[in-house]
Structure 1
Amino acid sequence: MKKFIVSILILSSVFLNGCVEKSVQGNKNINIKDYIVYNVGELPKDLSMLTDYNIRQQDFLVNLFEGLVKTDEKGNIIPGLSGSWTLSKDETCYTFNIREDAKWSDGSDITAEDFVTFFSQILNKDLNNKFAEQLYYIFGASEYRHGKKGFNDVAIRAIDKKKLEIRLNYPCNYFLNILAEPIYSLRKFNNNLFEWKKNYKEILYTGCFIIDDISNNSYISLVKNNNYWNEDEVKSNKIMLSCIDGSEAALAAYQSDKVDIFVDPPISEAKNLISLGKANQVSTYTTDALVFNLKKEGIIKDVNFRKAIAVSIDRIYISKEILSETAKPALTYIPTNISNGLNGQFVNKSYFTSALEKDKALDFIKKTKFDKNNEPLKLIYLDTIENKKVCEAISKNLRDNLQIKIECIGYNAEEFNDELSKGDYDIAKVEYEGSYDYPLSFLERWTINSKDNIYGYKNIDLDNTLEKSKMEKDKGKKIELLRSGENILFEDMPMIPLYCSNIVICKKSNIEDISITKKGNIKLDKVYINLQP
C-alpha cells in the first residue's frame, strides 16, 4: 500500500489522547496516532549555542537554522544556503553563491550581507563564544576578535547581493568542515535568540522548521518553514518536541506511546531494545577518557605511572559488560571515522589494546617511585550509573594488579566542573570530542593556550607541530604532521582514551527516514509516519 506522509498534529488535546480519527482503507475509521513526538530532553538556555556543547541541544540549530554548507549522514559536505561555491587557485579564497530562493522565515531574501553581519556578530569580542578560534583561519578574524582591528579589516565581504567572499590566511582544506558545524547556521544574534522561550515568534529562522508554540517548557511544536528553500522536500508539516529529562523517564514515555523517538535509553535496557528491533546504534566520535591533573604535584606527574594505568584498563570488559556493547574500545586519540580533509579518513596507528596488559603495567611501575602505602588517588566523575561502574572497574584493576589505591567520587554537573576548576583531584573521567570533523580539532585541545586544556599539560613541540600543520600547503605533509602530533600525545600521556560511545536511537516501527549526522545530530526534515498496516 502507498506510504502516506501525514501532517503531524501538535495540539495539546491530541498529545494527551494519543490518537485521532482517520479514514484508512476505504471508509473504515480507526484510531491512528498521526503526530510524531521526538524527545530532546533538557532545553538549551538560548539559541546562540556558543558557550558550551550539547549534541542534543544542537538539534535545535540543525532543524531551525541552516548555514552556507552542511553535511549528509556520511559526513560529506553538501550545499546549504549556498547552492555552490568556488575556490581560488591558491586555495585561500572561497566565493559562496547564496541561493536565489534562500529566504528568512518572514519571506525576505537572505543575502551575502546577512552572512557578513552574522560573522561580525559571532566574532565580536563582547560575545561569549568558546568556538571563535575556529575562524582565525580567516584573514583579520583574530585581530578583530581581540579588539585590535575593526570588522572592515576582516576578509569577509559581500561581492554583491548573492555572492559572499571569505579569504583565508593560508590554505585550509577542512575549512568547509568547520563551516558545516551547526553553530555556523545563519541566525540573527539579538535578544530574541537569547530569550527564545519568550520571543520565539519574533525569531527569523533559516532552516526547515520554525517554532510555533511552547507549552510550559513541557513541549515545543515545530511547523514547516514555508519559506525554506527546500520546503518541498520537508515531509512533515509539524513536529512535537518533548522535554523529558532523564533516560528512565524518556523510556517510560516511549513505552506508553507518549514519545515516538528518543536517544540513549538506560544502558541496562539498550541491548534488549536493540535485539527487539526497537532501537539501533549509530557510531559517533564522542570519546570517554581519563585525564590527569598535571597541575598537582605527586606520582601522577610521572609519565611511566600514567602509562602503567593506561595498560591496566580492560576496555573489552567496560564496553561489553558495563556498557552493553553500546560503545567500542578507543585505541587512538583521534577516532577512526574522522575526515582527513582529502575525501578519506584519517589513519595513524593503534596506541592501546582492548585487553588489560599486566606485565607491561608492572614494567612501567618499576620505573617509577610509586609507594603502595601512599594515600589513595582521587578519581572524579560525572555521577551516572555507567560512570560509577566504569570508574570502579578501573579502580579494581589498579588495586588488584598494581596495588594502586583509587578513591572514586561522583559529582553532579555543577560540582564536577567546580572540582575540575579547583584542581582538587588526581584523575578525572571526562567526555571529549572534536568540534569539527578533522584531526586538528581533537589535537588542538591539548595546546598550551587552548581553553579546553585545563589540566596543566604543556608541550611546545606539540604546539609547534600543529601550527606547522596549519601552515603546510602540501596536504599529505599536513596529515603526517597531525600523525606526529598524535604520537607526541601518546608519549606524554596526559590523557587515556577509554571508549567511543554509540548513539542508541529508539523509534516506533512506523517512523521512517530519521536522518542522523556523522556527529550524531537528529535531522527531522525527512521523517514521517508510515500508515501502511
Structure 2
Amino acid sequence: MKKVILSILVVSQLFFSGCVQKKDIETLNEKSDLTYSLEQLPRNLCMFKDDYVRSQDLLCALFDGLVTLNANNEISEGLAGSYNISNDGITYTFKLREGISWSSEKPIVASDFVEFFKNLLDSKAKNAYVSELYCIYGAEDFNKGKKTFKDVAIDAPDNSTLTIRLNSDTPEFLKILTKPMYRLRRNFDKLSDIEKNFKEVDYSGAYVIDSFKNENILELKRNNSYWDKPLEEKISIVANSPEKALASFNSGKVDLMFDLPLKETTVDEEVGNLKFTPDKDMYALIFNYEKKDLCGNYNFRKTINETIKFLYSEEDMYSKAGLIEGNGDMAFSTLEKDSIQTSSKQLENVDISKINSLFKEMDFDKGKLITLVSQNDNKSKLIVEELEKVFKEDLGLRINKKYFSKDDYNKVLENGSFDIALNIYKNPERKDTFLKMWTKDNKKNVSKYSNNDYDKIVNKTTINKQEKESMILSSISILSKDIAYIPVYYDSLSYATSKNIKDIELDGNNNVVFKTLYKNGIED
C-alpha cells in the first residue's frame, strides 16, 4: 500500500487536552456522516478570548456574519446582501438579505446586529478582540465606560439596514468584520455553556447543534431556516488526540483533521492527502530592554539577528515543521500559496568574525546565562530547541530555556522575568494596531522598547490612507533599524483530507467553509 511520508509539526494548543476513547471512534464509524476531528470540543461559543482558528471553525459552522472573506482575500456578501461605503470611507451601510432568519424561524433584523455589537463592546464581556472595533465612532469610549451605547455610531434605521460610522477612513474594516468573532450571535448567557444550553440557542449559520453524543462527540445538522443550502445534512465533530485522530484518519473513520501529531506523520495515500496553506502567524524573538547590559544593548541584538541566518542555513524547517523563514519581514509577509520560502541556505552571508567583534565591543561575558522563554506549544518548543543549538554551537552562549502555559508565559513577560522570548503574533488586519504595541506606554509593550521618534510617528493622528501608509513605512523602518524584534518564522497550516471529500474550502481567515463540504461528492 502506497504511503506518503511527511515530517510535520502542527500546533497543539495549550487549552486543548481532551482525548476521545477508542469506543467513541468506533461508535462514530457506525454512521456515514462527514467527520471532522479536533483535539477538544469548544464549550464556550462567546469566544471572547479563544484565538485558536480550529475552535473558531465551529463559530463559522453555526453562525454567519455581515460579510465573508473568500480564499482569494476578496470580500463576499454574508447576511448582508449588499453594502455601500461613503466617499470619505467613514460610513458603511449594509442591506440585509431578504428572508434571512434565525434557526428558530424568527427574522434576522438590523437591530439584532446593533445588540450584537453592544454585547461585544460591553466591558463586562472582557473581549480580547475589542480594540479591533475602536475604529467605530464612540466604541472605545463606551467600552471604557466614558459614554453610553447611544453614543456609538451603530444604527438600524429600519429592519433591513445597518449603518456603522467610523472615526476615520479604515480600509481594513470589512476584513475585520469577516473574522469569526463577528458572526451574528445572541443568547450570550447560553453560549457560555453550549453543551448544557445548545437547544436554547438561536443559530444564524448553515448548521445547528443537534446533539452532544457524549463529551467527545458533537453532531451538527443542517439549519433548515438558513438562507443558503448546505451540502451535507449532518456533520460529526469528534474530540481526539492527534495520534488517535491520525490512526482513525488512515483507517477511514475521520474525513478531515488539522492537528497532525509531532512525529513522522504517515498518511495513507489511498485514504487521503496532506495539504498546506500559509497562515501568516509570526514567531518572533523579543528582547527585555530593561536588561541594559544584555538585550538593551544594540550590539547584542545585532549579534542575535545575524545568528538567525545559521538557523536558516542548517535547518529546512518548512519540510520539518511547516515553518516559513521570516527573513527580516517586520510587519507580516504577503505569502502566496504557490511560492513558499523554504530553507534559503544563507550560511555564506554569516560573518562570524563580525559577530565576535560585536561581542568584544560590548565586553560580553559568554559565561553569562541567558534566559530564553516561550509558550509550551510544540512549534514554539521546536523553534527554541533549534535556536538553542545555534546559540550554543555557533556563538558559545549559555542558554536557559523555559516553557510555560499561555497564562504563565504572559505573566513572565509582564514581570520581565526573561532575557529573550519567542513570541507569537497573529497576522493583524490593522498593522497600525500592531505597531502601536511598541510605543512606550502601551501595556502590550512587554519588551519595554522605547524610541521617542517612533512614538511621535505612531501616535500621530492620521486622517487619510496616504498618511497611514507613510506612518506604517516610517515606523517599520525604525523598528527594523533598532532591531526591536526579529521575525524568525511564519507559520503555515497543514491538514489531511479524506478522498471521500471532493474538496475542502478554506476562507481567507483559514476557517473551514462548512456549507460547501460534502462527502463522496454527493449532494443531498
The TM tier, using the shorter chain, reads: 0.7 to 0.9
TM-score computed with the length of structure 2 as normaliser = 0.86
Distance 1:395 1:51, change over 3 A: same
SS of 1:266's partner is: coil
Task: Judge which range, 260-269 or 359-368, deviates more.
Answer: 359-368
What residue number does 1:25 align with? none
What residue number does 1:195 align with? 193
Structure 1 CA distance for aligned equivalents of residues 401 and 521 of structure 2: 50
Q: Determine which of 505, 510, 514 is the counterpart of 1:515.
A: 505
What residue number does 2:330 align with? 333
Structure 2 CA distance for aligned equivalents of residues 134 and 124 of structure 1: 14
SS of 1:365's partner is: helix
What residue number does 1:93 align with? 91
Q: Does 1:306 align with 2:301?
A: yes
Decide whether the 8 Å contact of 1:177 with 1:438 is kept in 2.
no
Distance 1:452 1:244, change over 3 A: farther
Structure 2 CA distance for aligned equivalents of residues 414 and 515 of structure 1: 33
What residue number does 1:395 align with? 388
Distance 1:301 1:275, change over 3 A: farther
**One-letter code aligned to 2:447:** Y
Decide whether the 8 Å contact of 1:318 with 1:390 is kept in 2.
no
SS of 1:503's partner is: strand
Structure 2 CA distance for aligned equivalents of residues 519 and 319 of structure 1: 29
Decide whether the 8 Å contact of 1:447 with 1:463 is kept in 2.
yes
Distance 1:122 1:318, change over 3 A: farther
After TM superposition, the structure 1 = structure 2 runs for residues 314-393 of structure 1, keeping only pairs within 5 Å, are 314-317=310-313, 320=316, 324=320, 326-331=322-327, 332-337=329-334, 355=347, 357-359=350-352, 360-374=354-368, 376-384=369-377, 386-393=379-386
Distance 1:353 1:365, change over 3 A: farther
Decide whether the 8 Å contact of 1:319 with 1:329 is kept in 2.
no
What residue number does 1:257 align with? 252
**One-letter code aligned to 1:480:** S
Q: Determine which of 394, 404, 409 is the counterpart of 1:411.
A: 404
Q: Does 1:174 align with 2:172?
A: yes
RMSD across aligned positions (CA): 2.9
What residue number does 2:26 align with? 16
Structure 1 CA distance for aligned equivalents of residues 510 and 106 of structure 2: 32
Shift of 1:382: 2.8
Q: Determine which of 57, 60, 63 is the counterpart of 1:62.
A: 60
Q: Does 1:471 align with 2:471?
A: no
After TM superposition, the structure 1 = structure 2 runs for residues 387-466 of structure 1, keeping only pairs within 5 Å, are 387-434=380-427, 436-448=428-440, 450-466=442-458
Structure 2 CA distance for aligned equivalents of residues 131 and 300 of structure 1: 30
Structure 2 CA distance for aligned equivalents of residues 243 and 19 of structure 1: 14
Decide whether the 8 Å contact of 1:319 with 1:328 is kept in 2.
no
Residues 28-68 of structure 1: per-residue CA shift (max 9 Å, x gap): xxxxx732111122233411111241111111111111111
Q: Does 1:229 align with 2:227?
A: yes
Structure 2 CA distance for aligned equivalents of residues 111 and 43 of structure 1: 30
Residues 106-126 of structure 1: per-residue CA shift (max 9 Å, x gap): 111111111111111111122
Structure 1 CA distance for aligned equivalents of residues 172 and 317 of structure 2: 38
Distance 1:295 1:250, change over 3 A: farther
SS of 2:437's partner is: helix
What residue number does 1:44 align with? 42
Structure 2 CA distance for aligned equivalents of residues 78 and 378 of structure 1: 47
Structure 1 CA distance for aligned equivalents of residues 443 and 43 of structure 2: 21
Distance 1:97 1:256, change over 3 A: same
SS of 1:512's partner is: coil
**One-letter code aligned to 2:312:** I
Decide whether the 8 Å contact of 1:338 with 1:437 is kept in 2.
no
**One-letter code aligned to 1:511:** I
Task: Judge which range, 148-157 or 377-386, deviates more.
Answer: 377-386
Structure 1 CA distance for aligned equivalents of residues 24 and 300 of structure 2: 60
Distance 1:91 1:308, change over 3 A: same
Decide whether the 8 Å contact of 2:311 with 2:390 is kept in 1.
no
Structure 2 CA distance for aligned equivalents of residues 273 and 333 of structure 1: 39
Structure 2 CA distance for aligned equivalents of residues 322 and 78 of structure 1: 32
Structure 2 CA distance for aligned equivalents of residues 272 and 315 of structure 1: 28
Decide whether the 8 Å contact of 2:311 with 2:386 is kept in 1.
no
Structure 2 CA distance for aligned equivalents of residues 418 and 309 of structure 1: 24
After TM superposition, the structure 1 = structure 2 runs for residues 241-280 of structure 1, keeping only pairs within 5 Å, are 241-245=237-241, 247-270=242-265, 278-280=273-275
Distance 1:380 1:173, change over 3 A: same
Distance 1:19 1:277, change over 3 A: closer
Count of equivalent residues: 490
Structure 1 CA distance for aligned equivalents of residues 269 and 432 of structure 2: 34
TM-score computed with the length of structure 1 as normaliser = 0.84
Decide whether the 8 Å contact of 1:271 with 1:325 is kept in 2.
no
SS of 1:39's partner is: strand
Residues 426-475 of structure 1: per-residue CA shift (max 9 Å, x gap): 112222113x434335434333454543332333433443344x6231x3
Shift of 1:15: 6.0
Task: Judge which range, 313-322 or 267-276, deviates more.
Answer: 267-276
Structure 1 CA distance for aligned equivalents of residues 346 and 445 of structure 2: 26
What residue number does 1:526 align with? 516
Shift of 1:406: 1.1
Q: What residue ranges of structure 2 are gaps of 5+ in the alignment?
A: 1-21, 337-343
Q: Determine which of 205, 211, 214 is the counterpart of 1:213.
A: 211
What residue number does 1:9 align with? none
Q: Does 1:158 align with 2:149?
A: no
Q: Determine which of 108, 126, 129 is the counterpart of 2:127.
A: 129
Structure 2 CA distance for aligned equivalents of residues 215 and 523 of structure 1: 23
Decide whether the 8 Å contact of 1:319 with 1:325 is kept in 2.
no
Q: Percent identity?
A: 31
SS of 1:369's partner is: coil
What residue number does 1:294 align with? 289
